[in-house]
Structures are given as structure tokens and as C-alpha cells.
Structure 1
Amino acid sequence: MSYIDIVKQLKKGSVSPLYLLYGSEGYLIEDTLQRIIDTGLEEGEREFNLSKYDMKEYPIEVAIEEAYTFPFMGGRRIVILKDAFFFTAAKEKTSVEHDLNKLEGYLENPAPETIFIMVAPYEKLDERKKIVKLAKKNGAFMDGSPLEEKELHIWVHERAKEQGVEINVGAIDQLITLCGAQLMLMASELVKLAIHVGEGATIYRDHVDSLVARSLEQNIFALVDGVVKQNIDQSWSIYQDLLKQKEEPLKIISLMVRQFRILYQVKQLMQQGYSQKQIAGQLKLHPYVVKLAGGQARQFKDEELLNLLDQLADMDYKIKTGQLDKFLAVELFFSKRSRQKV
């Protein structure tokens, strides 16, 4: 089940007695967890009827005993298992021993007045385990993997609606690009944008461009994009802005190397027939970042990317060995790019 599907159910007031939340996108898991709590308990009930147990510190039996305890003053109880690593193949260092037979029993017969939430912030579950099969069969489970492009658009649109505003497609694309598809950052920027345009209004790309600041990584992406498109004036302007922000030339060079290396790796995997999602998994990048990198990589031949990486590596070496001034080195790099196409 997707994050969006679970949110839809919760907005209707529908809750499950069992939830298994897993995946590498921490913001999705935390946001879903908070939404379940908000739906399941009133603010005044949480002091007595909300319990959290870190599975590296408490045995599962303690949490299960709590789940079977009748809620204080009636109503519901919520019990949260944090870092439930035993749903995966991960080997965690902990002295705590868990009786998973008792967990199996609970998953087969959950307490009707309790919302039992199991949080496993890992990329994959161990589908061979009985507890995984029971949790999926008898409860709701959410794959908290990074959202695909279509899901990102839906997520931004829904978050904007929650802030009382609309947002058009161009603004969504620009927001995702400027924030590097980081959900927490986008959520924060949407609040700012909504306040700026006012309730009932629409957020357009111009609003995003004027109010959302580029991260260092996004500035490097734009700088590299200028190199890709032979728009050296754009790259030079961004570089000068970064210097004004007190960024070190060596750090900028390092991030440029990282970006060109990503382009090369993405290009190689694309040529081998890997999908965007598979490449994201291989390189530990967000699928949207892979999409943008793929667009840049198509404009280079393999040898061109390798040549650029060699130039930057040589420049880095000469700076660190005192053969070349760091500011002059970067100026020479851009000067060479402006005179010829690699």
C-alpha cells in the first residue's frame, strides 16, 4: 500500500488495528506515523494511551503486554514499535532478546481497541518471515520508498491543498528540482509559499523561483548543467555566487566531480538497460535525481565525461600540491570550456 493510499484512508477516519511502516524515506514514515496518532487519539488522551518502545532497548513482550492493556478511560490505545529490525534480514547489535512467537500470536489476534504500529526504517522486509506475512495479511502496510515522479506531484498537490492553496504543474516541477525531491524541505517551503500567496490562491513557478532558495547541491547541479549545455556564463555566474556565500573552491570542485561521476554512472547503467528505479537503487539516489542526471548524461559521450573527470582530478591535485592557485584553477577550467567543446 502506498503512502498516498494510507493518507486517503486516514482522512476518512478509517484506521487499522495493525500497521507495518517500512522503507528508506524517513519523512514519509514519520509523517504517516503522526497522521495515525492524530486520527486515533485526541490530544488529551496521548499522555495515558500512547506508548513507544525502541526494539533495541525493550523486548517485544513488553509492547505486546501494553497493547493488550485496556485503554485508560476507554477509547483507543496506540502502541508503537520503533526500529523493528526483526521484520528485515538486518543484524542489529543489541542485547535485547525478542520472543517473536508472541508477536506472531498478537498479529493473528490483535487487540481491537489498540492501534499497533510497527516501524522498520529499512529498505526491504524479509518476506520469508512469518511475522512479515502475518502483518501484511492482517493489517495495513506502507512501503516508504522514495516517491516516483508521479507520486511526488500528487504529494505536493495534496500538501498544498492542506495549506489551503493550489499549485500548478510548472511550480511543482520547479519546487521538486530546487529542493532535490527532499520531502521535509519541500513541506517547509510549501508552508512559506502558501503564506505568501494567501489562502485560496495559486502558487506559480515565479513564486517558487523568487522564494525558494537553491541548496548547495542544486547550485552545483545548475552549474554542471551550464557546462553540459555550453552555457559557461551561467556556470561562471553560479560559481561567483557560491564564492560570495563563502564556499571553498576545493569543495565546489569536489561536488562537481561527484555530479559528473553520477552522470557517468547513470549513463553506463542506462546503456545496460537498467530502469530509472533500478539505477536509483544501485546508486542510492532519489529516482527524480536519476531522471535529471539521465537528461544531462545523454548530451555527453562516455569519453567526454571521463575527460572532464580527468581534468577536474588533475586540477584538484595541482591545487593540493601547491602547483596552482585554487581560484585561478577554476577560472582556467571555465575558460577552457568557453573556448571549446570537450
Structure 2
Amino acid sequence: MSYLQVKKDIDNGKIKPIYFMYGSQSFLMDDVVQAIVRKVLGSTDDSNVITYSIQDTLLDLAIEEAETFPFLGGKKVVIVKEFNLVTSQKQEAKMDHDLDRLEQYLSHPSSESVLIVQAPYEKLDERKKITKSLKKTTVVECVPFDVQTTNQWLEDQAQQKQMTITKEAKEHLVERVGVNLLQLASEMEKLSLYVGSEGVVNEDIIDLLVARSLEQDVFALIDFAVKQRLDEALVIYHDLLKQKEEPLKILALIARQLRIFYQIKEMSRQSYSQKQMAGQLKLHPYVVKLASQQMNRFEDKFLLELLEAAADTDFAIKSGKMDKVLAVELLLMKLASRKKHTIK
């Protein structure tokens, strides 16, 4: 089940006895746990929230806790973290976990407890019996959002904060910040404090309050350069230098973006969808979407020339043949000279 659907059910008071969370987005796991705790306990008070890690605690203790009636009545939330028994990775500290007892509990959970099992891993071992059993419970997929889910999540955040955010502002926010949900949540909180209840967030407010990430600065830098707006590209570059960003790091990000352009052009010719490209390249779909809008400004030959120039620039800097600040400036000038190489 998707994160958004699980959150909606929790907000509506539909609490399940067992939740199995997996995926690389720990922010989503923490958010769902907090929502469960608020609904079950009526607050974020953690006196009836018991947390275990199977890295240093036997699983038996967690199950025994879930089976035990809460002190002073009410309900309790039992969290089992780092549940790597659903992966194929080797156990560093060998502990004799009783999986049969967990299997029994999954079949007959306590009505007085909510058991949350967290596996913060990208891949699960689907062959394992315990993996199959846990996936029969309420599963929460804590995986990176696609574009549609990101937009829906931002809309939900805005509604919770009693403000409105325009479609253009949502896109602009993701362009500025990227797809880090923790950072997006922080920016949404800042925006809500600025516009207040019933306020409207538009593109101008995003420009006013939200700073670009380094990756987004580099993306904008390339965008200005390919549009022959070299002065604006150099302004961004020197602003990054003032922020103590290393020219070699900026160069590496420029080269990475150029490689993404080339890879997406190749995959587009093979009729890959943007979702398939994102999966193959291990990129967020929004990154693929933005790159797809820029890639056709380059011919393949010129992209390869630029990648070679980036490699030569890296070598010239590291071998001491060129000053690093000047070397990256010259690469930007070459990038801005692409007019005769682009597709008409």
C-alpha cells in the first residue's frame, strides 16, 4: 500500500494491528509512526511506545512486549527497527531470533498493541517465508515518490497547514529543492509561516524564500549557459565559489548532468518511458523530466565533446596545468558556444 493511502487511513482512524514498512525513505517511516502514535495514544507521548532493534535485542522480547497488556491500560505501540531478516544480507552479530514466534503473532496479533516492523532497505528477499508473511499484513512502501505522488504529497501538506500552493509553485519548489522529502517538508513549514492561514504560495514566494540546492544551482547554471546567457551562468558559478563550494565538485556535477542528458537521449531513441529511464538510471522521475526538457538542445556529437572537455578540465586541474576556478569558467564558455551544434 502506498504511503499516501496508509496516511489517509490512519487519519480516518483505521488503525491496523501490524504494519510492515520497507524502503529507503526513513522520513516516510518516521512520519507514519508519528501519525500512528498520535491516533493510538492521543498525543506524541512516548510512554507507551517501546522500540527495539534486532541488531542488539532478541526478537522474542519485542513479541513478548506486544503480547503484554499496557501498563495502566490503554494501548501501546511496539516498534521493531532494522529488521534485516527480510533481506539477503549477512548478519554481523549472529543472534538466535525466533521467527516462528513472530509468524504466530502475525496470525494472531494482540488487540491491545500496534506492532510496527521497519526494514529500511531498498530490496527484500522475496524468497524468505518471513518476508511473504509480513507482506500479508499492512505494508507501507517507503520508496521515492514519482512526480504525481510528490505533487499530491505537497498538496496534502498544504491542506494540513491550511494554505494553498499553486501548480506552478509546486513545480518551482521541486526545481529549487530537489526531491528530498525532509527538506521539502521543512520548506513547506517555512512557507506556511510566511503566508499564514488561508494564504497562497505562488512562484514569486518560492523565489523569495526558497534557496536552490547545489544540484539545482548547477542545473540552472547549465540551463543559462546553453541559452547563451553566459553572464548569468557565471554569476551562479561565482556565487557558489563565495559559498565555499569547490570548483572540482561543481565540475563533477556538471559532468554528471551532461552524462544524464546523453543517457536520456539514448534511451528516448529506444522508446523508454520517463518512468523506465528513472528506474534504469536510478534517478527521481522529476530529474528525468527536467533533463528531458533540456536534452534536445544538444546534438549527440556536441554532448560527447563536452563530456570529453569536462574530463580534460578535470585532468588539467588535478595535474596542476590550470587554475581550477579559471578552468571551470572556460568549460562554461565552451558550453555556451553550442549554438552551431544544436538541433534546429
- Give the TM-score, by structure 2 length: 0.92
* Mapping 1:130-141, distance limit 5 Å: 130-137=129-136, 139-141=137-139
Q: Which moved more, 1:114-123 or 1:302-311?
A: 302-311
Instruction: Give yes or no for the alignment of 1:159 onto 2:157.
Output: yes
- Per-residue deviation at 1:127? 2.8
Distance 1:274 1:79 in 2: 43
Query: Partner residue of 2:282?
Result: 284
- Per-residue deviation at 1:25? 1.7
Distance 2:309 2:172 in 1: 31
Distance 2:279 2:72 in 1: 47
For the 8 Å contact 1:104–1:130, the answer to whether it is kept is no
Runs of 5+ in structure 1 lacking a partner?
none
The one-letter code of the counterpart of 1:219 is D
- CA distance change for structure 1 residues 206 and 70 in 2, over 3 Å: closer, same or farther? same
Instruction: Give yes or no for the alignment of 1:98 onto 2:61.
Output: no
For the 8 Å contact 1:18–1:110, the answer to whether it is kept is yes
For the 8 Å contact 2:55–2:82, the answer to whether it is kept is yes
Deviations 1:230-254 (A, max 9, x none): 4323322211221222323222212
Distance 2:336 2:164 in 1: 42
Distance 1:322 1:266 in 2: 34
Report the secondary structure of 2:135's partner residue: helix
Deviations 1:35-73 (A, max 9, x none): 1112111348632x2111111111211111111001111
Q: Which moved more, 1:205-214 or 1:276-285?
A: 276-285
Deviations 1:152-182 (A, max 9, x none): 1110011111112111111111111111111
For the 8 Å contact 1:146–1:287, the answer to whether it is kept is no
The one-letter code of the counterpart of 2:189 is V
For the 8 Å contact 1:37–1:78, the answer to whether it is kept is yes
The one-letter code of the counterpart of 2:200 is T
Query: Partner residue of 1:170?
Result: 168
Identity fraction in percent: 46
Runs of 5+ in structure 2 lacking a partner?
none
Q: Which moved more, 1:292-301 or 1:310-319?
A: 292-301
The one-letter code of the counterpart of 2:134 is A
- Per-residue deviation at 1:340? 4.6
Query: Partner residue of 2:249?
Result: 251
Q: Which moved more, 1:10-19 or 1:330-339?
A: 330-339
Distance 2:288 2:14 in 1: 36
Report the secondary structure of 1:186's partner residue: helix
Distance 1:150 1:288 in 2: 9
- Per-residue deviation at 1:324? 1.8
* Mapping 1:1-342, distance limit 5 Å: 1-43=1-43, 46-47=46-47, 49-137=48-136, 139-341=137-339, 342=341
For the 8 Å contact 1:107–1:131, the answer to whether it is kept is no
Distance 2:251 2:33 in 1: 40
- CA distance change for structure 1 residues 270 and 46 in 2, over 3 Å: closer, same or farther? same
The one-letter code of the counterpart of 2:125 is D
The one-letter code of the counterpart of 2:66 is A
Distance 1:118 1:160 in 2: 29
For the 8 Å contact 1:83–1:119, the answer to whether it is kept is yes
